[in-house]
Amino acid sequence: MGIGAQLDPRPGGAFRLDVDGAHFASGDYREVEPPYRILMSWGWEGDPEVAPGSTTVEITLTPDGDGTLLRLRHSGLPSEEQRASHREGWKLYIGKLGTVVA
């Protein structure tokens, strides 16, 4: 989902994602339940509307036959415009993940 990342995937650990050299997402891990669930805060550095740590992303992985069901829930986004923008972004990156694992 980017060109670089600093990850400390434990409760209270921080993350910083370099998407493209100009846009950085950051937050902290709230709950980590390997290999099934991650709950983390999320936001964009330099964006007062969706500041780092201002929203929450929950990712769950559930075995499903020969595959895995991925569920991503992003909550706390302040406007419909932000919800739509993030929805499209998550679709893009989940699609890329699907291509890689296929």
Domain map (residue ranges) of the chain: 4-101
Pick the CATH number of 4-101 from 3.60.70.12, 3.30.530.20, 2.60.40.10, 3.40.50.300: 3.30.530.20
| Mean of pLDDT values over 28-32 | 98
User: Whole-angstrom distance between the N-terminal and C-terminal Cα of the chain?
Assistant: 17
Radius of gyration of the chain (CA): 14
Sorted by sequence, the CB contacts under 8 Å of residue 19 that are 6+ apart come out as 1, 2, 3, 25
pLDDT at residue number 82 = 97
Q: What is the pTM of this model?
A: 0.92
When comparing pLDDT for 101 and 91, which is higher?
91
